[in-house]
Amino acid sequence: MLKSTLSILAGAGVLALAGFGIYAYHSPYAVEPPSARPAFDPAQVEQGRILAAAGYCATCHTAAGGAPYAGNFPVTTDFGTIYASNITPDPETGIGNWSKAAFRRAMHEGVDREGRHLFPAFPFDHFTKMTDADVDAVYAYLMTAVAPVKEATQAPTIPFPLNQRILQAGWKLLFVDFGRYTDDPTKSAEWNRGAYLVEGVTHCGACHTPRNKVGAEEKSARFAGATIDAWSAPALTAANPSAVPWTAADFTRYLSTGAGVYHGIAAGPMAPVVHAGLRELPASDLTAIGVYLGDVVGAPEADPAASPAVQASLAAGRPDPAWRADEGERLYATACAACHYNAESIVAERPELGINSSTRLDDPSNLIHVILDGVSSAEGTPGVVMPAFRDALSDQQIAAIAAYLRDKRADLAPWTDLETRVAQIRAHQGTH
């Protein structure tokens, strides 16, 4: 009896493995030399350029100091480092010999031309929602407007057995809902357009949704916020700690200009997303994204300028003629207040730090990053810069300013171990 049971279990195991092997296997696509590729419509190429920007493809597929789209940008994960692939039209080291069908499969299914499963550092779980026409437009742009670069992609440092690509088929089976975006008939056309862009090509959830122990987005915590490159990607839900709730118009303005009146600026990893990416979209698409995200966050109808938090922050920021006994307040008055002063109303170019997102997050990292390294002309509002205080203020002084803003201006529970966190971020940024 035992022998018979074991035989049945072994047979079932063999069948399961065979079934998984059939599911996981993808045959290679034939090589398509550039000479066999027809010319693309210029309008399609331009649409592809806009979509590639909105998906910030160049940001992840360009190494520091490297040629655009030539790959080898390091993506650090809990399992090792994955190097972004070369997606220039070089036929040897890039995708120059890929057919349109092969490119679609990579975008929609996470499988390359040779039939190998791609690691999910590439957000195919979002790109699967893109239409064939949009994917084809990106293909046309890469094959036509991007210069071919001969540069081999470095091997990932993921250890065995996690580096076996066939295992990614199991990961996909568990965590990916493949298929194109379908409209929600209960919502407006504008809402659906925004949802298509956010869930697909712009893949906002890839950074703003926490991941589980095997690197998949936690569907039950969609847009709940996450940590990216030692920065906090805030929640895009009602759990966002902003003193002034985000509205659809706030999202659209922020993504169009890189700055919001009541929330802060696009800095750190978010800067290229806005300035080298989403801003390329037409105004109607940015408005649609705002409508969708405004619905996700539960946008209120009230005028934010009348918010008690705004009024309290403005009052707290008015100059106090009395001697400032608190070190953080003194340092703020001398180093920060000249630019961050608002009187009766808030000016977008003068962030009101009492309600700024960076002072209200549970993690002080974003505020510390900006104090240390400032805001360059490529970040935030075009033409407006903030100086870096890395070489002007000590860890203790920056910690004192952050503590003052958190306590006296935001009126929130204090951050702990601030000075240690400043030192960590100073050292981390100094290595990049």
SS3 sequence, the chain?
A: CHHHHHHHHHHHHHHHHHHHHHHHCCCCCCCCCHHHCCCCCHHHHHHHHHHHHHCCHHHHCECCCCCCCCECCEEEECCEEEECCCCCCCCCCCCCCCCHHHHHHHHHHCECCCCCECCCCCCHHHHCCCCHHHHHHHHHHHHHHCCCCCCCCCCCCCCCCCCCCCHHHHHHHHHCCCCCCCCCCCCCHHHHHHHHHHHCCCCCHHHHCCECCCCCECHHHCCCCEEECCEEECCCCCCCCCCCCCCHHHHHHHHHHCEECCCEECCCCHHHHHHCCHHHCCHHHHHHHHHHHHHHHCCCCCCHHHCHHHHHHHHHHCCCCCCCCCHHHHHHHHHCCCCCCCCCCCCCCCCCCCCCHHHHCCCCHHHHHHHHHCECCCCCCCCCCECCCCCCCCHHHHHHHHHHHHHHHCCCCCCCCHHHHHHHHHHHHHCC
* Residue-level pLDDT at 69: 97
62 within a domain of the structure (yes/no):
yes
* Residue-level pLDDT at 388: 95
Annotation-wise, does 369 bind a ligand? no
Query: Is the same domain home to 136 and 40?
Result: yes
15 within a domain of the structure (yes/no):
no
> Is residue 179 predicted with pLDDT exceeding 50?
yes
Query: Is the same domain home to 205 and 329?
Result: no
Residue 155: domain span: 23-175
Query: Is the same domain home to 312 and 413?
Result: yes
Query: Is the same domain home to 75 and 58?
Result: yes
Q: What number is the average pLDDT over the span 343-359? A: 86
Query: Is the same domain home to 170 and 233?
Result: no
* Residue-level pLDDT at 13: 57
For residues 113 and 31, what is the distance between their CA atoms, to the nearest angstrom? 8
> Is residue 153 predicted with pLDDT exceeding 90?
yes
Partners of 83 in the β-ladder:
74
For residues 43 and 6, what is the distance between their CA atoms, to the nearest angstrom? 63
324 within a domain of the structure (yes/no):
yes
* Residue-level pLDDT at 307: 85
Cα–Cα distances in Å, from 101 out to 30, 214, 407? 10, 29, 57
Annotation-wise, does 61 bind a ligand? yes
12 within a domain of the structure (yes/no):
no
Query: Is the same domain home to 161 and 266?
Result: no
Partners of 260 in the β-ladder:
264
Annotation-wise, does 108 bind a ligand? no
Domain boundary among 144, 175, 206: 175
CATH of the domain at 372: 1.10.760.10
Q: Which two tokens stand for residue 144?
A: 């036509």
> Is residue 320 predicted with pLDDT exceeding 90?
no
The percentage of residues in the chain with a pLDDT greater than 70, rounded to a whole number, is 92
For residues 141 and 139, what is the distance between their CA atoms, to the nearest angstrom? 5
Confidence tier at 53 by pLDDT (50, 70, 90): very high
* Residue-level pLDDT at 323: 43
> Is residue 202 predicted with pLDDT exceeding 80?
yes
Q: Under a CB-based contact definition with an 8 Å cutoff, are residues 309 and 244 in contact?
A: yes
Annotation-wise, does 340 bind a ligand? yes
Annotation-wise, does 207 bind a ligand? yes
Annotation-wise, does 126 bind a ligand? no
Annotation-wise, does 117 bind a ligand? no
Model pLDDT for residues 257-313, shown as the tens digit of each residue: 998 888 888 888 898 899 888 989 999 999 999 999 999 999 887 788 888 888 888
11 within a domain of the structure (yes/no):
no
Q: Under a CB-based contact definition with an 8 Å cutoff, are residues 225 and 239 in contact?
A: yes
Task: Please tell me the pTM assigned to this model.
Answer: 0.83
Annotation-wise, does 339 bind a ligand? yes
Q: Under a CB-based contact definition with an 8 Å cutoff, are residues 86 and 71 in contact?
A: yes
Query: Is the same domain home to 316 and 280?
Result: no
Q: What number is the average pLDDT over the span 155-160? A: 93
* Residue-level pLDDT at 262: 87
Query: Is the same domain home to 198 and 292?
Result: yes
3 within a domain of the structure (yes/no):
no
> Is residue 180 predicted with pLDDT exceeding 90?
yes
* Residue-level pLDDT at 324: 45
Model pLDDT for residues 97-143, shown as the tens digit of each residue: 999 999 999 999 999 999 999 999 999 999 999 999 999 999 999 99
Number of domains in the chain: 3
